[in-house]
Structure 1
Amino acid sequence: MIGIGLVLVGIVVFGFAVLLSRAKSGKRSSSGSVSYVRRNFMTARELEFFGALRSALPEATIHSQVAMAALIDVKGGNRSSRNSFDRKIFDYVVCAANGFVLYVIELDDRSHSGDAGRRRDAVKDGIAKAAGLRVLRYQSVRTDSQVLRRDFDAMVLLVDSAAKG
């Protein structure tokens, strides 16, 4: 009797272990609790601004939704230093024709106006500044193309003067 009871307990424990490992690996369980859905790369608002940037800055190469970790690395420190930004995203990265990163753009919306949003922005801006990246923030997808052009020209001048100085 004790042997059969131990076997049954073993089967139950094994079953729970299998269910737990499936849940952790992201596989769909028999209850269907995990599913993966495709989403758009950019929101309509982000896509509209991307088009405005491309139109205003035809000689620039513009990338969208770029991980900060693709542009910034950590020297010294520990893993938590990298963890403070490795999952954060820059909305747009503006590069010269040769691929050199000129600056990054953040397109702010309502989520940036509260205390939490301002703290997130300050962290992102501080890390970018420490790495030598300039961050320009725009509030509207309808930012005038002349403003986008003026800012681009100013950033090119800054980069050129820094390279010469």
Structure 2
Amino acid sequence: MFAVILIGVAVIAELAKKQVSGSAERPKRRWPLTKNEAAMYHRLIQALPDKVIFAQVSFGALLTARGRATRNRFDRKIADFVVCDKALQVLAIIELDDSSHRGREGNDAARDKLLQDAGYRVLRYPRIPNGERVQADFTPAPEPVKSTEKLKSLYELGGQDAKQ
């Protein structure tokens, strides 16, 4: 009887350990960009040599909010590309709408509204544009978000920095 209880306790302990550490699956390495995103990145850096291009940027790096419910609307979202001037002021957020976006137009519109409401310019390309198109979209260079506009937008989102 004691042996049965001891085995039961060992089994329960092992199950509890697996629940705490998650599954036994080990994470695997992957490329940070898809083939299309990599091609778009190279197009952007070639077409906009005087700009700084960031890929796969968390919305959490672009938006802030005091309330958890508001943060939950954006905390797991990723922007394909963020184009900045040399002072790292955001000029535009670029989304590449390849075939994976079909049927997700409503979600994309909601993402755009979230970013636009915070004062960002959002550009969507259905495919990788030629360099001239990218240059035209940045000529004349769009103005970075002014700090007062940014603070107003953050305040409206419930941002922590709004009162500074």
Give the TM-score normalised by structure 2.
0.80
Separation in 1, partners of 2:144, 2:69: 31
- Cα RMSD of the aligned pairs, angstroms, is 2.2
1:13 Cα deviation after fit: 3.6
Separation in 1, partners of 2:109, 2:138: 22
| Correspondence for 1:107 among 92, 96, 101 | 96
| Correspondence for 2:127 among 131, 140, 146 | 140
Give the TM-score normalised by structure 1.
0.79
1:27 Cα deviation after fit: 5.9
Deviation >2 Å, runs of 4+: 7-11, 13-24, 156-160
Matched, 1:18 2:3: no
Q: Which residue of 1 aligns with 2:136?
A: 150
Percent identity between the aligned chains? Answer: 37
Equivalent residues in 2 for 1:15-164 (5 A)?
A: 15-26=11-22, 28=24, 34-75=25-66, 78-114=67-103, 117-141=104-128, 143-154=129-140, 156-159=141-144
Q: What number of residue pairs does the alignment pair up?
A: 148
Q: Which amino acid aligns with 2:117?
A: A
1:23 Cα deviation after fit: 3.8
Q: Deviations over 1:41-62 (max 9, x none)?
A: 1011110110000000000000
- Structure 2: where are the runs of 5+ without partners? 148-164
Separation in 2, partners of 1:80, 1:10: 46
Bigger Rg, structure 1 or 2: 1
Separation in 2, partners of 1:10, 1:82: 46
Q: Deviations over 1:13-57 (max 9, x none)?
A: 4422332332431363xxxxx121100010111101100000000
Higher relative contact order (CA 8 A, sep 6+): 2
Separation in 2, partners of 1:93, 1:159: 12
SS in 1 for 2:133: helix
